[in-house]
Structure 1
Amino acid sequence: MWNNFTKSNPEFIKDELPEAEFFHDNEKDANRLAALIINGKKKASSGLYIWYKEANADLPKIGKKLIVTDFNGKARAIIETKKVDTIPFNQVSKEYAALDMGTEIEPLEKWKKAHWDFFASTMEKPTEEMLVVCERFETIWTEKD
């Protein structure tokens, strides 16, 4: 996929091959999220700030590219980070939630439930004030099957 992207976008030919990963922790959700990215509905991703701190990892940087795969590792899209904010869980906006969830139907309610459940499964005591890294991205390349 990266080769096809750089052939069509030669200004990126010297860029390093981006990391590749799937979103979420199970096949059904990983494949569903990849499909939302491909069709342009999902334009954001959320992670806990503490995950970055514990892993001694840098927060996402504007301009960073990522190859999104399905659960089985098949490249599905290339995304580019456009904006990164770190905000408390209870201050996530409806606008941001719609970008992350890929829906306009009760996006904040759906975002809070899905992310609370997911975050709570990875930590001892989630709080309304836990910091969330809110990454907005643009899908810059997809390949049709």
Structure 2
Amino acid sequence: MTVEEFWQQFKTTHPAVTTNDYDAYAFVEADTLAHLVKIGRKTATTSALDLYDENDARPQVGEYSIILDSQGQPVCVTQTKVVETVPFDQVSAEHAYHEGEGDRTLAYWRDVHRRVFSSFYQQCHREFNEQIPCLCEVFERVD
């Protein structure tokens, strides 16, 4: 099923949703993390704010997203509930827990995100540091 077909099917089963605006994306570890969203364990994500291009859309409260697997196939729909900008070194243990990965601890979150963000920064010829602004997003799986 295409992303657009998946969206139209979602709208059919959720008639209160009248918008045609949605984002579709895959996580870095697409299959694993999409599965965690689908089973309700992963209800948050974090991105590095200053790696967004000027024209890139940033997550917004109320928006819908279609989570994709590694093959670009839709897995489920989420709705963003909270978006806040927090320095990397101040991301909370609660947020790390809601990301649903590993043992759900802040230490695990920092280790994984430090490695992933460092790689992304290196690709952009920039240097990662622990004060980078992070977009912390909380979402709810709605289908």
TM-score by length of 2: 0.87
Are the counterparts in 2 of residues 88 and 128 from structure 1 also a CA contact under 8 Å?
A: yes
Does 31-40 or 56-65 show the bigger shift?
56-65
Deviations 1:50-73 (A, max 9, x none): 022x33334311001011010101
1:7 offset after TM fit, Å?
Answer: 1.6
User: Could you tell me which residue of structure 2 aligns to residue 133 of structure 1?
Assistant: 135
For residues 63 and 106 of structure 1, the distance between their equivalents in structure 2, rounded to whole angstroms, comes to: 25
User: Could you tell me which residue of structure 2 aligns to residue 121 of structure 1?
Assistant: 119
Are the counterparts in 2 of residues 2 and 17 from structure 1 also a CA contact under 8 Å?
A: no
Write the letter of the residue equivalent to 1:61. Q
User: Could you tell me which residue of structure 2 aligns to residue 37 of structure 1?
Assistant: 37
Cα root mean square deviation, aligned = 1.5
**Identity between Structure 1 and Structure 2 (%):** 30
For residues 107 and 114 of structure 2, the distance between their equivalents in structure 1, rounded to whole angstroms, comes to: 11
CA separation of 1:108 and 1:11: change in aligned 2, threshold 3 A: same
In the TM superposition, 1:25-64 aligns within 5 A as 29-52=29-52, 54-64=53-63
For residues 22 and 33 of structure 1, the distance between their equivalents in structure 2, rounded to whole angstroms, comes to: 9
Unaligned runs of 5+ in 1: none
Unaligned runs of 5+ in 2: 1-5
User: Could you tell me which residue of structure 2 aligns to residue 112 of structure 1?
Assistant: 110
User: Could you tell me which residue of structure 1 aligns to residue 3 of structure 2?
Assistant: none
1:96 offset after TM fit, Å?
Answer: 0.3
Are the counterparts in 1 of residues 48 and 132 from structure 2 also a CA contact under 8 Å?
A: yes
Counterpart among 16, 20, 26 of residue 16 in structure 1 = 20
Are the counterparts in 2 of residues 62 and 83 from structure 1 also a CA contact under 8 Å?
A: yes
